[in-house]
Copies of this chain bind each other. A is one copy, B any other.
Amino acid sequence: MIGIKKIEWVSNYMPLLNYLQKNYKGVLDGIKITMAIHLEAKTAYLAITLKRLGAEVFVTGCNPLSTQDDVAEALKDFGIIVHAKRTNDEKNYYENLNKVLDYNPDLILDDGADLSVIVHTERKELLKNLKGISEETTTGVRRIKNLEKSGILSVPVIAVNNARMKYLFDNRYGTGQSTWDSIMRNTNTLIAGKNVVVAGYGWCGRGIAMRAKALGANVIITEVDPVKALEALMDGYRVMKMSEASKIADIVVTSTGMKDVVKYEDIVNMKDGVILANAGHFNVEIPVDELEKNAEFVFEARPNVKGYKINGKNIFLIGEGRLVNLAAADGHPIEIMDISFALQTLSLIYLKKNHGKLENKVYGYPEELDIEVADLKLKSLGIEIDVLNENQREYMKGF
């Protein structure tokens, strides 16, 4: 019941999916789609949208802790097959990934590339029917490109993450807001005046940093790319190595897509009461295992917050080091996901339509679909923009 309410709520703020439901009926008739997603109300509404466009839909989670069970339950009422449970049990998580693959999908909608990697390694028999993959994240795209480099990629893949309407919005405004929503609601601590260390100054990292600054924090950036480090500096942040920044941090947020960004020896030097959170896709950025192993004791400090006693100091970790906005809150704001999921929906339709015409490689996001989504969003907001006239178009061609 409450799951249904959550889905109804998000439908209020998803004008693009509502538009697609109304205008693209039947376009996915006869197509089986297996999707791995952070299963909460917004992704549920995406699944419902695909169903309403004609597809058979099979859903599982893409991260053990990000599934909301009431929503998973509600989804079944819409005729969608769901294998997903909020859990800490990685084995159960992988079983579910395999279960939704058992339906032998035509298309995969992936988030982080777990499904994509499985079908290309352990379950190659599924490649025969598979017509394409649409991948959501930076991390997933990196993994699939590595499949491509290894020469084993066997279907066309669209990197939805590479749509401008995705990485410029989802990664920046989405992660920026939802990361702080989660940290604030789970800790009730003040952000203003705090030393906030953000590891990584990619699109996600700069969203997180921008909002931290906006909330009054004194932000410090760590980076491995010197150009991004200088951008951070010019944006008014301090730039340091993690081994220095960690000593003065009140809050540390990682968002790099890389493992071991914070090292255990950094944590040992942190201040009493420091708060750690990860906003990257995988729980590899903060060394949770070492915290568990080395702490004098471990305690639940609040729901979603674990305390580790180390050298007599309290080190707090939100959401077990899994991506903090989903493991310990409601994920990205609704309107952001509405955009991302309109991109996803058009991507799946595109893969279906162009079946047979595409190579087995990673494609960027089709420019015309990117513009279509942007135009739809502007229209839903009632905003008109300028258009180049004939003279101006000519001018652009001149030298």
Contacts and interface: CB of A to CB of B under 8 A. Distances in A.
21 contacts: A5-B302, A6-B302, A9-B302, A13-B189, A41-B188, A117-B399, A143-B398, A144-B399, A146-B398, A164-B227, A169-B234, A174-B190, A184-B184, A185-B330, A193-B233, A211-B215, A218-B237, A224-B386, A226-B375, A259-B392, A284-B395
Interface of A: 5-6, 8-10, 12-13, 41, 113, 117, 142-144, 146-147, 150, 164-165, 168-169, 173-174, 176-177, 181, 184-185, 188-193, 211, 213-218, 222-224, 226-227, 229-231, 233-242, 258-260, 273, 284, 300-302, 305, 314, 329-331, 333-336, 370-371, 374-375, 377-378, 381, 383-389, 391-392, 395-399
A40 B303 CA distance: 16
Contacts of A169: 230-231, 234
A381 B234 CA distance: 12
A239 B378 CA distance: 10
Contact of A378 (B229, B329, B335, B375): B229
Contacts of A238: 218
- Copies assembled: 4
A310 to B, nearest CB: 15
Given A185-B330, A233-B383, 20 more contacts: A5-B301, A144-B399, A147-B399, A177-B190, A177-B215, A181-B184, A181-B185, A188-B333, A190-B336, A192-B235, A214-B215, A216-B234, A216-B236, A229-B378, A229-B385, A233-B381, A239-B383, A242-B386, A258-B388, A259-B395
A13 B275 CA distance: 11
A124 B241 CA distance: 52
